[in-house]
Amino acid sequence: MSTLSDFKCPVEGFTLVETLIALALMSGVFITLAGAIPLAAMIHRGAFEREQALSLAQYQMEYFLTNPGPYPGDHGTKTQFINANQFPPGFTGSYAASSFTDSPGLTLIVVDVTPPHAPKVELSAIDTTYSNLAP
């Protein structure tokens, strides 16, 4: 006759300790990944604002290089930019023009735009047209 001790049930599945360890590890991974999402969003916002600032500065620089002015000694803020109405809130901008003492036909033009959450974008160019000389 057989007794209960003769019937051995095969052990299958995970123990409670193994399950808790796996749950703790997975929780750590998910918390780490969740913490990276705000960082990625902040980096994306900064890159997007820098791209906007570069576009605004390029537009103003192209305007200066294709039209008379600014003259050496001129400077201004974003309110004098040709595209001032396109500046998003929080963006600032300025420009300055200076001449080279040894090269009277050259004007150095510097345009910068600063977004609220990214580094300043600064563009400079040398205008070689004589139309930028003071009248």
Q: Which domains does the chain have, with CATH numbers?
A: 14-132 (3.30.1300)
Tens of pLDDT along the chain (135 residues) come to 556 566 666 667 788 999 999 999 999 999 988 888 999 999 999 999 999 999 999 999 999 988 887 888 899 999 899 899 999 999 999 999 998 777 777 889 999 999 999 999 999 999 887 544 455
CB 97 within 8 A of CB 117: no
Specify the pLDDT at position 131. Answer: 47
The rounded distance, in Å, linking the Cα atoms of 2 and 4 is: 7
pLDDT at 114: 95
Return the pLDDT at 63: 92
Which residues lie across from 111 on neighbouring strands? 95, 123
- State the Cα angle at 66 between 65 and 67, rounded to 5°: 100
Tokens of 80: 């004098």
Strand partners, 109: 97, 125
Residue 102 confidence (pLDDT):
75
**pTM over the 0.85 mark:** no
pLDDT, residue 72, reads: 84
What is the chain's Cα-based Rg?
A: 32
Q: Strand, coil or helix: what is 134?
A: coil
Q: Which residues of 35-51 are buried (b: 16+ CB within 10 A; e: fewer)?
A: eeeeeeeeeeeeeebbe
